[in-house]
Amino acid sequence: MGFIFTQLRFNLRLFLSHFFSIRILVSVLLVCLPITTVHAATYYLDASTGDDNWTGTLSSPQAGHGPWKSLSKVNNAFLRPGDTVSFRCGEVWREPLVVSYSGDTGNPITYNSYGSCDDTNKPVIDGSRHIIPIDGWTLGADGNHSANLQAVMMAPANNLVTNGGYDVDASSWLYTEWRDSTACGDNSGGCMVLRIDSHTDQGGLDLIAGKNYRLSFRAKMSTSSSFPSVRVFDNDNTGDIFLDSGPLTTTTQWQSFSIPFPVNSSNTQITGKISFRIPSNIVGSEELFLDNVILQQESQDILSVQQLFLDDQYQELAHYPNRGYDPASPNRLYLAAKTSGTVASFAAGDDLVLSPTQEQDLSGAGIHIKDIAFRIDDCEVLAYDIPTKTFTNTQPDYIVTPEDNYYECRTANAVGVDDAYYLNNKLWMLDSAGEWYFDEPLQKLYLRPASGVPDNRVDASYQIYGIYALGRSNIVIDGLSIRKVYRGIELGQATNFIVQNTDVIDTESKAIVSFGGRYGTIANNIVLNSAGDGILLDDATNITIQNNSVSNTGTIGTPRFNIAGIRLVSGINENNNLVDKNTVINSGYLGIQINNMSTASKNYVENACLVLSDCGSIYTNGSTNNGFITDNTVINTIGTIENPAPQYTRSRGIYLDKNADNVTVTGNTVINTLYGFFLNDGTDNTFIKNVIYGSIEYPVYRSGKLGLNGQPPIYGNHFESNQFIPLNGDFTYLTRSDVDIGVDTYASIIGNRYSLLYSETLFSETINGANSSFSVNDFSGWKNQVENTATAFNPFAIALLNIISVDGINMVLNSDMETNIIGWGKRGDDYNLIDLEPETGGTCADGNCLRLTSTSSSASAYYADRDPRPSLVFGKYYRVIFDIRSGSGSQLMSVSAGEYQNGYNKRGQARYIAIEDDWQTQVFTFKATYDSFEDPSDPGASNYASPVSQLIFKIDPLKTIYLDNVKWEEVSVDINDTQDDTAIIANATGSTVVYQCDDVITDLSRCNEYVYFSDTAVVSWPVSVSPYSSKVIVWADNPFRDTDRDSILDSVDNCPINANPNQIDGNNDGVGDGCDVDSDGIADSDDNCPNSPNSDQLDTDADNAGNVCDSDDDNDGLADVIEDSNGNGMVDVGETDALNPDSDNDGLTDGDEVNIHFTNPLDFDSDDDGLTDGYEINIGLTDPNTSTMLLLGDFNGDGVVNVGDLILFQQQLLND
C-alpha cells in the first residue's frame, strides 16, 4: 500500500467537515442552533427524489414534503435513541455516512433500508466517482490512455480528537468528569462536564501547517447562560495559537458550534492541543456540558485516486517488474536483494535492470519488501543510489491512523540476500494491460485497458470511509451496501453495536474494523474484495462474528501486507469473542485468527495463505490463551507460489503459534493442507476427534525451542481419537525441537487412528536437524512404545506409482562392493573420523559390502565421489534398490538424490526409512526435480536440465549401517492419482446431509467397492453425515494395491506379499523367488512346504505340512526316520509303514502301540488270543499283551479251554 500513501499524503486527513454544511457563527463565524426534541422518529433517504429541505419523515414525496436526499443531511441531523434512518433500496450515495450520535440500551439508533429490497438492490454508499475527462481520453504512442480530470470536493479526514463522543467515559481528556445520558439531559450517550474556573485539555493532535481545520462540538450550561471559550494551539514548539474563540454564548439548551480556522506555523508538523475553559468570573456552581467534539482538516478541491475500476473490475497500480518477466517463472513478481541490509536500506540484485531515466525516477515510488515469510513491508523509496543500486526507504504517510497500517513499513527489519521486493507507482512502470497511474499534482490519469478505449468505463475510488461510527454505542447498521472505499465500516471504541445483512465490497484497506470495541455483533454480512483484512477486531471484547461471507481478502492487486479474512488480535487477556458459522474463502494470509479466550466454531475456511507464508487457515497464539477451535471445516491450505524464498512456503490447517496454551481443538475437518496441525512451542493443548485428510506433507508437525529455566519447549498436550489420513508416504507426525524431549513428554496420545495406505512410517523427531533419541518409526513400534490404544487402517497398501519398465542401466558402477568401495565417498562435520570401509564376511548380505559409522555428528555415504557421475534428466523417474541393515539397533535414516555441486539441493524428495539389525531390501523411487521446499517454477530449473547428482545415505550420530547391492536406474512409471484412492464426505452445514454415491464418486461402477476408514465396514449408500463432521471412505478394489510396498502392483507382482522390486524368478516358474524360496513353482503363501521343493504338495496326514518337510508323514506318532529306518522309502521287513499310521490295521496307531500300549505295531493280535489289540484296548477289560483265553479258563463249562470259551465271553460282553 506504499503507493497509496504517496498519492494521498497531502489530503487524506480530510473526512468529515464539509458534511456539516450548516455554518455556525460566533462573533463573525459562529451561529447557535437550538436542538428540538423528537423521540423515536424514522427518517428516510432517497438519492433520486429526496430533498434536504424536507422533514425526512415521509418515505416518498407528498405535498412538498418527503425524504431527505444526501448523507450530509443525515450526518448533521441530531438523532436520538430509538431513531431510525432508512435508505431507499436501489439508490446510490457517493459520500460517507457519519454516525454522529449514540443510542441507549434498548433504544439503538438504526440505519437500515426500505422499499422493495433484496440482495441485488441494497442501498449503496459508493466511494468512487465515474471518470469523465475534461477533454476526453488521449492514446499515447506508448499504448497508454491518459485523461485530465476535473477536481472534486474531497471527503475530509477522520476526527483528530480521541473520544469526542463521551459515550462510555471521558478518557483521553484531562481535568473533567463523565456523565451518563440521563444526567446529560436531551442527548444521546454520555457527555463531559466542566466546572467553574477549570479547563479540559487533549493534546497529541497531529496538525499540518498551511491547512484549514474545523472544530465542531455541542455544548450547554447547567443553569444559566455563560461564555465559555475554546483554544487550539501548538503544544510543543512555538506556542502558536491557531484558534481562540473568545467567549461563546451558551444557554441551558444543547447547541451546535462549528468554527473554521487555519493552521499557520513555521513548523510543517505540529503537535496541537485543544482546551475548553470556563472563566472564573461566573457565579455559583455552574457546569459546562460538552459532547461530539470533532476536529478535522477541511476538504480540498483535489482528487486522489485510491482504487481504479474498469468495467467494474479492479485494476492494478503500475508496477515493476511484471509477472512473468522471467519466462522460466510465469508466476514470479518479485526481484531479489543482492546484499543483506534492512528495510530502510539494501542493495538490489542484478535482476533490477533499468534505463538511466528510470533510475533517476525512483524517489517516491512504492517499494514492497517481503523480508520474511509472513510479512510485506509496504514502504516508499526515499532515494536510490545508482552506482551501488542501493535503495533508501521510509515509512509513507498514514492514510487514517498508524493502527490502520499495522506492520506497514518496519524500516529496522533485516533484509537478507535474495529477499524479495517489487516497485510500483511510477508512470514508466505502466506497460501492461490492466494497470494505471495517477499524477496527483497534475490531476492526470493514465490507464492501459486490455481492449478498447476507456470512455465511460472508468470509476475512481477516492473516499476514505463508507460508514464512520468511531466511539458510538447502541447503533444498528442493517441491510446496506458499501463499495469502493478505503475502509468500509469504522467501529473503533464502539459498544453495543450490530452490523448485519450489509455488503462491504472493494475496500482498499479493511472492510469492517473495530479497535477496542465492546459488546457487538457482526452477522450475516458479505465482505468481498478487500486488499487488506476483511473483519478486524483489535483489543475488542465480547464481539460475535457470525454467518458472514468473507471472500478475496489480501488477494486484490499486487501483494501487500495483510493479515486475515477475520482477524481478532488481543491487547488484553480476556476477549471472549465468538467467530461462528462464517465462510472465509481466498485469503492472502490467515483465514481466521482468534485471540485469548475466544472461540472459532463451525466456520468454513478455504484457500488461505495465497500471498504470504508461515501461515494457517485458523490461527491463534499467546499464552493464557484458553481458546476453542471446534467443528470447523478447512480446505486447501497449500501456500503461495509467489514467494521466491522456498524455505518459507509453509502453510497449515490449524496453527497454534508462539506459546499458545490451553487451546481446545475438537471436531474439526482439515482437508488438503500442507500441514494439518502445526504446534509451535505450545503447552497443555487438547486435540480430540479431528479428521486430518490429505495433508501434503505432514498431518501433525510440532516445533519447539528450549523454554525458560530449561523447561521443555512443548509439553502437556493431548491427542485423542483423531483420524490421520495423509495421501502420501510421509510421516503422520514430524517434530522438530532444539532439545530432545520425546513424544511422551510432548503429549499424551490415546486412541487415534492412522492410515498405513502409503507408508508404515508414523513418527520422526529431529533435534537441530538430527533424529532424536526417541525416533519411533513404524506403526508397530509406535503402538508398543507410545500409543498402545492406537488403531490403523491396514487391510492393504496402495502404491503411489507403478514401475512399468526399467529404461536404463545401473548408474552405480560399484554396486556390490565385492572388491573395493571405489566411487563411494563420505560427508560430515567430522570428516576424518567418519568410518567408511569395506566389510567382509557374514555381516554382509552376500560376499562383501560397505560399512558406514558416524561419530558425534551425522554422516553420509554417497555415490559417486568421482567421475563418471550419474546425470539425471529433469522430470524423469529413477528407482533406487539396495540391501541394508543397521549395525546399531533400530534407527531412522534418509536416502536422497542430491546435486553434486550442493549436496543439500535435493533433486528428489528425501525418503526416510526405518531399519533394524536384519538385512532388508529397500526401494526408493523419485522424480528428478526440486525438493518439496522449493518453488517448482524456479528459473533455476533451466540450469539443471541434466544435473550431475549423487545418491546419499545419511545416518545420525553414533550409528552404523551396512549397505550392499545398490542399484540406481531410470524407470517408466504410471502415477497413481491418489484422489481415486479415498474420498472424504464433509458436511460443513448445521443439518444432517444424506449423500448418494454419485454425489461423491464419479465412477459409479465403484460404488460398492468402498469401505469406511474408521472401521473398514463396507459403505452402503446413501451415507448420512452429521452437522459439521465428515466421513472418509477407501476404495478397496484399487488397481494400485501394493501389499508389499515395492512399487510393483499386486496384479502384476510375481511376489505380492514380500518386497521384491527386482522381480527375480530364478526358475522362471512365474513365482518370484521372494515368494517361492524352494523354487518349486508354488508361491510360499500357498506352499505347504515353502523351504523344500514339492510341486506335488503331497500331504499324507493333511496337517498342512507337506511330506517333504513333515517329520511324521502319517502323523502316527512315530517319526519317519524310525519307521523307515534305512531311508529307502520302502516298507522293509521289520519296518512299519511311514505313510500308514496303522501298519497292522488293528485300530491302534503305530506310535500308540510302541509308546503307550507296548504292543507290536506289526501284529494286529499281539497276545494271539483271538482278540485284536485295538479291540482289547477299546473294551478295556482285557490286556492285549496277555492271552484272554488263559485268563478265562473253561468259561463255557465244556471241560475244554478253547476258542469256545472266548466266543461265549464275547457274546456276554456284547449283551452287556
Low-confidence winner among 528-542, 625-639, 912-926 (lowest mean pLDDT): 912-926
pLDDT confidence band for 327 (50 / 70 / 90): confident
Q: Is the pLDDT of residue 500 over 90?
A: yes
Give the three-class secondary structure for 1152: helix
The CATH number of the domain where 853 resides is what? 2.60.120.260
Calpha distance 180→167 (Å, rounded): 8
Other Cβ atoms less than 10 A from the Cβ of 105: the count is 10
pLDDT confidence band for 665 (50 / 70 / 90): very high
pLDDT confidence band for 618 (50 / 70 / 90): very high
Element (H, E) at 808: none
Other Cβ atoms less than 10 A from the Cβ of 1084: the count is 20
Calpha distance 533→552 (Å, rounded): 9
Calpha distance 20→10 (Å, rounded): 22
pLDDT confidence band for 294 (50 / 70 / 90): confident
Burial class (CB in 10 A: 0-12, 13-18, 19+), 8: buried
Q: Which region holds residue 474: left if phi is over 0, alpha if psi is between -120 and 50, else beta?
A: left
- Region 64-70: mean pLDDT is 93
- pLDDT for the residue 41: 93
Concatenating the DSSP letter of every residue in 237-281 gives SS--EEEE-----B-SS-EEEEEEEE---SSSEEEEEEEEEE-TT
Calpha distance 713→59 (Å, rounded): 65
> b or e along 996-1017 (b: 16 or more beta carbons within 10 Å of the residue's beta carbon)?
ebeebbeeeeeeebbbbbeeee
Domain count, the chain: 4
pLDDT confidence band for 322 (50 / 70 / 90): very high
Clarify whether residues 282 and 244 are in a common domain: yes
Cell, residue 377: 513491508
Clarify whether residues 213 and 225 are in a common domain: yes
- Region 735-742: mean pLDDT is 56
Is 1174 among the domain residues? no
Q: Which amino acid is at 666?
A: T
Is 730 among the domain residues? no
Clarify whether residues 850 and 835 are in a common domain: yes
Calpha distance 248→25 (Å, rounded): 10
- Region 494-500: mean pLDDT is 96
Per DSSP bridges, beta strands 651-657 and 177-179 are: unpaired
The string of pLDDT tens digits covering residues 846-862 is: 889 999 999 888 888 88
Calpha distance 366→396 (Å, rounded): 9
Residue predicted with more confidence, 1142 or 554: 554
Concatenating the DSSP letter of every residue in 926-991 gives EESS--TTS-TT-GGGGGGSS-BEEEEEEE-TT-EEEEEEEEEEEEEEEEP-GGGTEEEEEE-SSS
Q: Residues of the chain with pLDDT > 90: what percent?
A: 39
Q: Is the pLDDT of residue 359 over 90?
A: yes
CA pseudo-torsion sign 1144, 1149, 1155, 1159: negative
Calpha distance 1084→1079 (Å, rounded): 9
Q: Is the pLDDT of residue 218 over 90?
A: no
Instruction: Look at the chain and count its residues.
Output: 1216
Is 74 among the domain residues? no
- pLDDT for the residue 900: 54
Omega before 321 within 30 of 0, i.e. cis = yes
Of 974, 999, 1025, which residue is a domain's last? 974
Q: Which region holds residue 1059: left if phi is over 0, alpha if psi is between -120 and 50, else beta?
A: beta
Q: Is the pLDDT of residue 1143 over 80?
A: no
The string of pLDDT tens digits covering residues 231-248 is: 999 887 667 889 998 888
Omega before 133 within 30 of 0, i.e. cis = no
Beta bridge partners of 600: 579, 629
pLDDT confidence band for 740 (50 / 70 / 90): low
- Region 469-475: mean pLDDT is 92
Clarify whether residues 983 and 967 are in a common domain: no
- pLDDT for the residue 303: 63
Of 922, 953, 974, which residue is a domain's last? 974
Clarify whether residues 286 and 325 are in a common domain: no
Is 1043 among the domain residues? no
Best CA proximity match to 157, nearest among 11, 301, 307: 11
CB 229 within 8 A of CB 243: no
The string of pLDDT tens digits covering residues 133-192 is: 888 999 999 999 999 987 665 555 567 887 887 877 887 888 778 888 788 876 556 888
Burial class (CB in 10 A: 0-12, 13-18, 19+), 1130: exposed
Q: Is the pLDDT of residue 1065 over 80?
A: no
Clarify whether residues 343 and 261 are in a common domain: no
pLDDT confidence band for 666 (50 / 70 / 90): very high
pLDDT confidence band for 402 (50 / 70 / 90): very low
pLDDT confidence band for 324 (50 / 70 / 90): confident
- pLDDT for the residue 835: 84
- pLDDT for the residue 814: 92
Of 938, 955, 974, which residue is a domain's last? 974
The string of pLDDT tens digits covering residues 935-950 is: 444 444 434 334 567 8
- Region 32-53: mean pLDDT is 74
Q: Which region holds residue 455: left if phi is over 0, alpha if psi is between -120 and 50, else beta?
A: beta
> b or e along 1144-1180 (b: 16 or more beta carbons within 10 Å of the residue's beta carbon)?
bebebbbbbbbeebebbbbbbbbbebebbbbbbbeee
Burial class (CB in 10 A: 0-12, 13-18, 19+), 1193: exposed
Residue predicted with more confidence, 1049 or 566: 566
Q: Is the pLDDT of residue 742 over 50?
A: yes
Residues 6+ apart with CB under 8 A from 1129: none
Clarify whether residues 966 and 982 are in a common domain: no
pLDDT confidence band for 1072 (50 / 70 / 90): confident
Clarify whether residues 258 and 404 are in a common domain: no
The string of pLDDT tens digits covering residues 93-102 is: 999 999 988 9
- Region 121-135: mean pLDDT is 92
CB 77 within 8 A of CB 98: no
Is 1011 among the domain residues? yes
Q: Is the pLDDT of residue 824 over 70?
A: yes
pLDDT confidence band for 211 (50 / 70 / 90): confident
- pLDDT for the residue 649: 61
Q: Is the pLDDT of residue 30 over 50?
A: no
Parent domain of 1013: 978-1035
The string of pLDDT tens digits covering residues 1178-1208 is: 766 677 777 766 666 666 667 666 667 776 7
Calpha distance 965→1060 (Å, rounded): 13
Clarify whether residues 846 and 967 are in a common domain: yes
Residue predicted with more confidence, 803 or 753: 753
- pLDDT for the residue 889: 87
Clarify whether residues 356 and 251 are in a common domain: no
- Region 392-415: mean pLDDT is 71
Is 271 among the domain residues? yes
Q: What is the mean pLDDT of the chain?
A: 82
Low-confidence winner among 48-57, 58-67, 164-173, 912-921 (lowest mean pLDDT): 164-173
- pLDDT for the residue 35: 35
The string of pLDDT tens digits covering residues 934-991 is: 344 444 443 433 456 788 898 888 899 999 999 999 999 988 888 889 999 999 999 9
Clarify whether residues 968 and 983 are in a common domain: no
- pLDDT for the residue 388: 95
pLDDT confidence band for 17 (50 / 70 / 90): very low
Backbone angles phi, psi at 17, to 5 degrees: -65, -40
Is 497 among the domain residues? no
Both ends of the chain: CA-CA distance in Å? 113
Is 501 among the domain residues? no
Element (H, E) at 2: helix 2-8
- pLDDT for the residue 182: 80
Name the residue with cell 482439515. 670
pLDDT confidence band for 774 (50 / 70 / 90): low
CB 761 within 8 A of CB 778: yes
Clarify whether residues 820 and 944 are in a common domain: yes
Calpha distance 335→320 (Å, rounded): 9
Calpha distance 121→88 (Å, rounded): 9
